[in-house]
Amino acid sequence: MPWANTAFAANWQQAKALGIVRGAYHFAHPKNGAATDSGAFLDTVRPHGLTAGDLLALDLEVSDGLSPARVAEYARNWCADVQKATGHTPVVYTFLSFAQQGNCAGLGGYPLWISDPSSPAGHPRVPAPWSTWALHQYATTGNIDRDVSSYATPAAMRAALGKGTTILKTTRKDPEMILVEVDRATVPAGTAWPGVFLLTSDGLTRYAKPEDIAGYASPEAELSTICQSLIDHAKRGGGADNITCMMLRVVEAPSIAEMEVPAAEI
């Protein structure tokens, strides 16, 4: 069953008093199930106060005898549970060979904390499904492991890895329909249809390459989670204004010409 450090409450408050970046991590035991572990983690952290700059992390390094697919599913669900409950995008800590075995599939939308002590500080190898890193654990000898971040200042790290930008959701209750017609002749061969449209501003595309976007677009992830991850990616890259992202899942429907819709309603 989940275990909590008895010194957590004191350490958590002391870190705040010192004004340093503080974070709480959960050592993953996939055999417990994501709901059990995320619930225990949240029950431990939230009563002691959770502020916008606090970091939350999943320490993913054991399989408990489960297959890589089940470990990855556990991790995706744990991260989704914690993000939904707190608004914070969790950081995923893991090491190279564990990720290379497939235990991190679908986690590319979450910031990576990679343990790679064989690489120089700040120059880690980045395993799939990630294309970039947020934190690098470059030394694991001695009494204290040593890490370096990819951010210039503690404030930048808090902004990027703390509570993410809120994704606004409509409060309208009246039904709406958006009709988007796409000429299938322009769709690249092999592209699944229907699919997903990404609508974004240059506040995102300045900082996210097509391959970066593809890395976050896991078929298992919720569209809102992907959007949040893309916005956070742009913020980590230095974006600060007009970062807009919307994803629409395409549903097969007749064309406007085929629909009997009064002209006044189009």
Question: What is the per-residue pLDDT across 197-206, written as a single tens digit (0 to 9) for each?
Answer: 788 888 888 8
CA-only gyration radius of the chain, Å = 21
Domain boundaries, the chain: 8-161, 184-265
CA distance 176 to 135: 43
CATH of domain 184-265: 3.60.40.10
Which residues have a Cβ under 8 Å from the Cβ of 170 and sit 6 or more positions away? none
Question: Is the pLDDT assigned to residue 175 strictly greater than 50?
Answer: no
Residue 244 has pLDDT above 80, yes or no: yes
Cα–Cα distance, 14 to 8 (Å, whole number): 10
With left for phi above 0 and alpha for psi between -120 and 50, is residue 115 left, alpha or beta?
Answer: beta
Burial class (CB in 10 A: 0-12, 13-18, 19+), 265: exposed
Mean residue pLDDT of the chain comes to 81
Fold of 8-161: TIM Barrel (3.20.20)
Which span out of 98-112, 198-212, 236-250, 252-266 was modeled with the highest average pLDDT? 98-112
- pLDDT higher than 70, residue 48: yes
Are 209 and 169 in contact, with CB atoms under 8 Å apart? Answer: no
pLDDT at residue 153 in the model: 84
With cut-offs at 50, 70 and 90, classify the pLDDT of residue 185.
low
108: left (phi over 0), alpha (psi -120 to 50) or beta: alpha
Q: Which residue has the higher pLDDT, 14 or 19?
A: 14
Is pTM, for the whole model, over 0.75? no
